[in-house]
Chains A and B, each alone.
Chain A
Amino acid sequence: MAGRWRNTLKWSDVTSEGAYLDRRQAMAAVGALALSGIAGRARANEDGLAPNTWDEITRYNNFYEFGTGKEDPWHNAGRMTTDPWAVEIGGLVDRPGTYDLADILSGVSLEERLYRLRCVEAWSMVVPWVGFELADLLNRVGVQPSAKYVAFQTLHRPEEMPGQRSPILDWPYVEGLRLDEAMHPLTILATGLYGKDLPNQNGAPIRLVVPWKYGFKSIKSVVRITLTADQPLTSWNAYAPNEYGFYSNVNPDVDHPRWSQATERRIGGGLFSPRVPTQMFNGYAEEVAGLYAGMDLKKLF
């Protein structure tokens, strides 16, 4: 594929090569991926991109299908059945159908992507995802020329997802992207974390990750992908259109009506962790700003 995005953030970027190797030798028994996570906390690179720990990433989640508390998903998500799992791909595609997860994964090669994650609630993490570019899957099913948007839907199974028994949002959770956003090489479907399978609370077995948008755009536990001509409905936008736009690009200059988006707190800094400035497009402006050329991002937030 032409113009494929190259991940400039490698595991060895997280810490100096020497320290990385030293620790590698010292802790040879520990898995290399877990190791680099530990090393990462000890010494971040100039970007400050040290991944959050496994515990931080898996115990502090917004996944309202399992409750609104940050640790609710960690407590409750274990009940969700993720095997068997299939994704129904339809709409304006050449080869619609219900694709088994194993079938989807057989056609792609998984890679590591160390991404910033910025929640709309003004906290952030750095997550070492494992996944593949959404474009690979979309190209495989054949996107028809009339398609302009991609709609996504989360599993709806109230008997396993206690939050879906309360009207917190209009279930099932739905999200959407413009086709060019979906085809962008930064946009991935993730199936893992730290080299392991995704835990349920992080959106197992397959979830979207769009690192330049607020976290709620990165829909979890996806069961349906539909190519459409019109802009699809998205859950938070439907709930409060003045607070959550369809685009929801990370933007320090456009505040949420109820709180500032100018700064964020990195999870994991403890009780005295300062706020740090939020970056335009969550630090991915170089890669994605072109998608929005000529758009008034204050109106189309």
Chain B
Amino acid sequence: MGVAGPINAALRRVPVWPVYVIGMAPAPWFFWLAATGGLGVEPIAALEQRLGLTGLQFLTAGLAVTPLRRLTGISLIRYRRALGLVGFFHIALHLCVWLALDLQSWPLVWADILKRPYITIGMVAFLLLVPLALTSTDRALRRLGPVRWRRLHRLVYLAVPLGAIHFAMLVKGWQPEPLVYLGAILALLALRIRLQRARVAV
């Protein structure tokens, strides 16, 4: 815990709002690039992928907060809500681009959700995140009470790996990138289980 103390002390002086500002910046940047040719000649698919991947990265970072604190003592817990909400923001835009730009047709949307497993899984992952985003305020936490709130927010342990599976299922050929994300997410979850057991044992 030698370095954790000074780092935590320094972090206490860093406010949370920059995480929102910096974290949400990629989205308008991606839209700008897509509109001006910066994402190549097929901007719709590229925009969809960038938004989805950025969302997954923030959600994965949110999952890393607790293991990081348990392993190193460094606490980023103050920023975790911001990481989660910024992740959700990108995933929601990813979904909007798919609906409004990619498919552009409600019958196609419905058919895809029902017929294509990777879309079904992605949709389920998104729907699991919605109640978490809605109950992310202090007021919601107070109204639910910490026990129920924490129980509800365990849905994230399901939603994030499902998001990575959704990513892994849509590539062609043997491509490592989505599997690396899935592996990292599962490792973070496994670490959490192991650490919890260790704590109970003590």
Interface residues of A (CB under 8 A from B): 55-56, 59-60, 64, 68, 70-71, 121, 123, 166-169, 239, 255, 258-260, 263, 265, 267-268, 270-275
Contact = CB atoms under 8 A, between A and B. Distances in A.
Nearest to A163: B173
Given A68-B171, A260-B108, A271-B101, A255 B115 contact: yes
B41 interface: yes
Contacts of B172: 68, 121
Interface string B36-60: 0000111111110000000000000
Given A258-B170, A259-B112, A265-B44, 15 more contacts: A59-B41, A68-B173, A68-B175, A166-B176, A168-B173, A168-B174, A255-B115, A258-B117, A258-B169, A259-B116, A259-B170, A260-B108, A260-B115, A260-B116, A275-B104
16 contacts: A55-B41, A59-B41, A64-B173, A70-B42, A167-B174, A168-B174, A169-B174, A239-B174, A258-B170, A259-B116, A259-B170, A260-B108, A270-B43, A271-B34, A271-B47, A272-B101
Contacts of B34: 271
Contacts of B112: 259-260
A274 B118 contact: no
B137 interface: no
Interface string B139-168: 000000000000000000000000000000
B111 interface: yes
What DSSP secondary structure best describes chain B's contact surface?
helix
Contacts of A275: 103-105, 108
B119 to A, nearest CB: 8
B193 interface: no
Contacts of A267: 41-42
B77 interface: no
A167 B173 CA distance: 9
Nearest to B170: A258
A70 B108 CA distance: 25
Contact of A265 (B42, B47, B105, B115): B42
